[in-house]
Amino acid sequence: MTDAAPSHDEHTFDTVAGMRNLEERFEGLRRSAACAQLNREQISEMIAITANLIEERKRIRVVLARLPESFGEVRQLLNELNRSVR
C-alpha cells in the first residue's frame, strides 16, 4: 500500500471515533504487511498506534486497581474509565 499515512497526534487517540479509526488503520496495515513489506512511514504509524494502545492499557489498569468495594465509588471510577477511553 503506498498511500501516505495520516499523521496522528495525541488528541486523536482520546476519542472513541479516533480509536475506531486507529483500529481500522491498524487492520489495513496488518493486511498490507501480509502482502508486502511495510514502508518506513507505515512502520512508524504501526509503532505509534501500538504505543497509544499500551498507554491506554496502563490508564485502564490504574483505574481498575482503584476499584473500591462500595458501589457509589465504583460508579464514579467507571465514569472516569469511560472518559479515559474516549
Cβ atoms within 10 Å of 6's Cβ, excluding its own: 9
Residue 47 lies in a domain: yes
* Average pLDDT, integer, range 3-15: 46
Residue 4 lies in a domain: no
Q: Which three cell numbers stand for residue 57?
A: 492499557
**Number of compact structural domains in the chain:** 1
Structural domain range at position 33: 10-84
At 40-69, the pLDDT tens digits run 999 999 899 889 888 888 988 888 888 777
Residue 5 lies in a domain: no
Residue 68 lies in a domain: yes
Q: What is the pTM of this model?
A: 0.55
Model pLDDT, residue 40: 92
pLDDT band at 9 (very low <50, low <70, confident <90, very high): very low
User: Are the C-beta atoms of 1 and 32 separated by less than 8 Å?
Assistant: yes
Residue 1 lies in a domain: no
